């Protein structure tokens, strides 16, 4: 049973380097494996989704990038949202500025508007996601989605990015943009949305996760789960770890064990192995302390392993299976 069965919009954020985009892509595949049609969106212009799925750079157009199984159970579509294209679509939709809107783009007016008013930029980006979420009741003939996964900006900016209504308070107090911000905010603060945070077991990402959850809650934005990514294999039991950290491992005993299995162990090799073992044990102690901080957050937590060969399509499917088993999807 999934932990978020009623959620339509899954927002995925995380500090840079934690594998945020990889987790977002894996979550989209996991949701699709349940037989759902899923839209995976990115808003940072990095084309990270295209790289993960090994497809050409995504245009401002929904493209099929993966099927959850060979039997076609669930599809993943992807969309790269950029503010300029979103504004052109907005002008065409609400002001019927077709050619006129493209003319404004040629004159650089759209770039100017989205640069000087970052609040407007975020409303346009989130507004496109809102349009896809509400499409089944508004746009006849267009593809509707059972779930949407948003690869969102990093944790340090996520509350500001999602809190679009407050961002526009000093820019637009009435009119269609203010109205759109209000409707987007209603979705983002509803039970149909969950904001998931990705971290690794290191001090800075974990602290940013703690701070991010506090900011989201202060803004009345719904916190989902925490995905602890890139978990290393647990090769040592607690007793071995303590001995290595304390420096009480007997080098002579280790030498005898190695020679007993045919390894020509000398003093230098044994010393190197003990140093590496101590570093691993100390790393495990640090990870345990960070895991305790995450456990204290009182939110659902999911762990994903480090992929030995890096993130490729096969690895995404493995991570997706892990998210299904863990209950996130």
Which H, E and C letters describe 82-141, residue by residue? CHHHHHHHHHHHHCCCCHHHHHHHHCCHHHHHHHHCHHHHHHHHHHHHHHHHCHHHHCCC
Q: Quick: pLDDT tens for 140-195.
A: 667 899 999 999 999 999 999 998 766 655 555 555 667 777 888 899 999 999 99
In a domain, 4, yes or no: no
In a domain, 17, yes or no: yes
- Given a cut of 60, whether residue 106 has pLDDT beyond it is no
- 8 Å CB contact between 194 and 4: yes
Record the tokens describing residue 69, joined without a space.
Answer: 């199984």
Q: What is the DSSP letter of 265?
A: -
Q: How far apart are CA 112 and CA 109, in angstroms?
A: 5
The tally of domains found in the chain comes to: 2
In a domain, 1, yes or no: no
Q: Are residues 57 and 113 in the same domain?
A: yes
In a domain, 3, yes or no: no
CB burial class (10 A; 0-12, 13-18, 19+) of residue 87? buried
Q: Are residues 322 and 184 in the same domain?
A: yes
Decide the pairing of beta strands 301-305 and 63-67. Answer: unpaired
Q: Tell me the average pLDDT across 92-119.
A: 50
More confident residue, 225 or 94: 225
Q: Which residues pair with 79 in a beta bridge?
A: 41
Q: Are residues 163 and 201 in the same domain?
A: yes
- Given a cut of 50, whether residue 128 has pLDDT beyond it is yes
For residue 59, give the CATH number of its domain: 3.40.50.300
The pTM of the full predicted model, rounded to 2 decimals, is 0.85
Give me the domain span that covers residue 63. Answer: 9-232+306-326
Q: How far apart are CA 129 and CA 41, in angstroms?
A: 8
In a domain, 154, yes or no: yes
| Cα dihedral sign, 115-117-120-122 | positive
Q: Are residues 159 and 269 in the same domain?
A: no
- Given a cut of 90, whether residue 250 has pLDDT beyond it is no
Q: Are residues 17 and 105 in the same domain?
A: yes
Q: Are residues 279 and 165 in the same domain?
A: no
Q: Tell me the average pLDDT across 314-328.
A: 95
Q: Quick: pLDDT tens for 228-241.
A: 999 988 777 777 77
């Amino acid at each position: 049973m999934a932990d978020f069965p009623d959620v339509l919009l899954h927002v995925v954020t995380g500090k840079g380097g934690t594998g945020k985009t990889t987790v977002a892509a894996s979550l989209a595949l996991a949701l699709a494996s349940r037989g759902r049609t899923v839209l995976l969106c990115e808003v940072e212009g990095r084309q990270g989704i295209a790289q993960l799925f090994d497809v050409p750079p995504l245009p401002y157009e929904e493209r099929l990038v993966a099927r959850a199984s060979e039997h076609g159970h669930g599809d993943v579509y992807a969309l790269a949202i950029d503010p300029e294209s979103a504004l052109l679509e907005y002008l065409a939709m609400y002001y019927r500025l077709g050619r006129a809107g493209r003319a404004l783009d040629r004159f650089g007016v759209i770039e100017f508007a989205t640069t000087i008013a970052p609040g407007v930029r975020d409303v346009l980006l989130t507004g496109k996601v809102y349009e896809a979420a509400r499409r089944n009741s508004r746009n006849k003939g267009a593809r509707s989605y059972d779930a949407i996964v948003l690869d969102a900006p990093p944790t340090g900016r996520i509350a500001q990015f999602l809190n679009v209504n407050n961002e526009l308070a000093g820019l637009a107090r009435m009119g269609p943009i203010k109205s759109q911000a209000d409707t987007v905010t209603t979705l983002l603060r509803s039970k149909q949305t969950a904001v998931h945070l990705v971290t690794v077991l290191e001090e800075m990402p974990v602290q940013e996760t703690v701070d991010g959850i506090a900011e989201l809650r202060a803004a009345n934005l719904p916190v989902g789960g925490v995905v602890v990514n890139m978990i290393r294999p647990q090769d040592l039991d607690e007793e071995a770890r303590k001995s290595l950290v304390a420096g009480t491992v007997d080098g002579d005993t280790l030498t005898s064990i190695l020679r007993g299995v045919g390894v020509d162990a000398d003093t230098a090799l044994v010393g190197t192995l003990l140093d590496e073992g101590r570093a691993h044990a100390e790393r495990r102690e640090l990870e345990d302390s960070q895991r305790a901080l995450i456990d204290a957050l009182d939110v659902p937590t999911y762990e994903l392993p480090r992929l030995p060969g890096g993130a490729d399509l096969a690895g995404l499917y493995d991570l997706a299976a892990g998210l299904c088993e863990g209950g996130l999807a």
